[in-house]
Amino acid sequence: MEFLKELGIKEKNLGASTGLEWYGTKDQGELKIHSPADGKYIASVYQASQIDYDKVIATAHKAFIEWRTVPAPKRGETVRKIGQALRNHKDSLGKLVSYEMGKSLQEGLGEVQEMIDICDFAVGQSRQLYGFTMHSERPNHRMYDQYHPLGVVGTISAFNFPVAVWSWNVMIAAVCGNSNLWKPSSKVPLTAIAVQNILADVIKEEKLPEGLFSLIVGRGSSIGEELINDKRVPLISITGSTRVGRHAAQVISKRFGKYILELGGNNAIILTPNANLKIAIPAIVFGAVGTAGQRCTSTRRLIIHEDIYNKVKDSLVKAYGALKIGTPMEISNHVGPLIDKAAVEDFKNALVKVVKEGGKIICGGDVKEGAGYESGCYVSPAIVEADNKYEIVQEETFAPILYLLKYSGDVNSAIEIQNDVVQGLSSSIFTVNLLEAEQFLSHWGSDCGIANVNIGTSGAEIGGAFGGEKETGGGRESGSDSWKAYMRRQTNTINYGTDLPLAQGIKFDI
């Protein structure tokens, strides 16, 4: 395929890079990557060894020592050029994202656009790494705080957003003065290698320090454990399951490191009797079936007032009937495949379980077979009537299953149902009633890190801080003031007088 050639993807690829050099101990196993779109073999990657890791981390630390001395606006100029390089390769990289991961081509191209957008955001941020000044109680003293870079920032990304989440972290971390080490999902390593190849041209052209942007592809049980235990990596951003995040948080905390966790979501949309269904239905459908339900912000639960329940149910069944399921490389298709057959099994098992608990499948739920579905990874998105207390509804199934939950009473009853899960990432309400909207956004309303009104749970913009609460992990990435997570805070006091008055009026005469 031409886009593989353009991105420098070979038949066999090494799994460790410092930006300029590639390393690859070939005795640690070879990842053979097949596309969930058609089941065809794409290429392979040699997993990195401990020797490779040691080379990469040492080079990344050395790069930090140099990079932190570069003025932040100049660091921003480098990121601007990375954004331009991504623009030049948007079509090819978007196709690879779709082909390797399985999301629709529109979403693949959109993910690369998200990378470009965060580069633009980071360029502006490079001139706004601000602190604050405070008045001192002591005469002839000035106080202020400022922010300094941390060191090597690690990013552990998941398969569902193989490049965008990396860029959220790395572009911000880079303008803050940090170097970066990326461990991508072993399910989608080719997109990471492609990005590393794109970065290499900028690194050479700008004469950037080797190791500023590094890559390590390896087993979680070896390379992943080495990374989270490494004191040379003061901050690690992790996207993944709650189980993985809980383990990583414990290990990193034990060495007093910092972490950003973006873990599970069990996101709900509330439809009150005052909802504008004309805009609500498309938002629900995209939220539930976009990326084949494999977004952390995918809509899992739909909480519908009893007065409009049947109308909404009928509208959704009709909309699902119009979905085009097929290869993600065809831009007119709405739903592509799940990432692999294991994900298909999770989808099937969840539906079996919800029926056993008393749920009713009213739409979809089958595995697609026949021409065009040879990979065995395509399913028909399911709609299920259920109860929020079902065990399976309390879990996050990473697949296109939408649970319909009925409520009665006022909006507070719906909010109580929404909050009654352990996850707390994204949430939404559709209503034209200002009182209902404001209650949803109040401090007794949604307990999620993201709360939207009259838009869905999925499709966050890069300008806002992204992240959640409860078992979603905490921490924020991307926009707003999330840049502060990638820096260490320092308070400074300057005495410009000739006396030494002490704080709190303490006297200490000698």
Residues annotated as catalytic are: 262, 296
Which residues are CB-contacts of 170 (< 8 A; sequence separation ≥ 6)?
153, 155, 180, 182, 213
How many Cα atoms within 13 Å fall on the side-chain side of residue 35? 25
Q: Checking DSSP bridges between strand 469-470 and strand 41-46, what pairing results, if any? A: unpaired
Rg (CA), the chain: 24
Question: What's the rounded Cα separation, in Å, for the pair 187 and 339?
Answer: 8
C-alpha dist (Å) from residue 282 to 9, 260, 286, 324, 333: 37, 32, 6, 14, 15
For residue 410, the SS3 value is coil
Pairing of strands 235-239, 258-262: parallel
47's tokens: 């997993």
CA pair distance 153, 106, nearest whole angstrom: 30
**H/E segment holding residue 57:** helix 50-67
Q: Please, are residues 195 and 163 in contact by the beta-carbon 8 Å criterion?
A: yes
C-alpha to C-alpha distance for 94 and 193, rounded to whole angstroms: 14
CA distances to 107, 139, 507 from 142, in Å: 51, 9, 20
Count of Cβ atoms closer than 10 Å to residue 501 Cβ: 15
Could you tell me which residues come within 8 angstroms of residue 306 by beta carbon, excluding any fewer than 6 positions away? 406, 407, 408
The answer to whether 82 touches 118, Cβ cutoff 8 Å, is no
Amino acid in position 103? K
CA distances from 74 to 124, 175, 214, 345 (A): 11, 8, 20, 49
φ, ψ for residue 161, nearest 5 deg:
-125, 80
- Please state, in angstroms and rounded to a whole number, the distance separating the CA atoms of residues 376 and 368: 7
Residue listed under structure tokens 């803050």 = 176
Structure tokens at 154: 């690690």
* Separation CA 213–CA 173 (nearest Å): 11
Cβ 97 vs Cβ 103: under 8 Å: yes
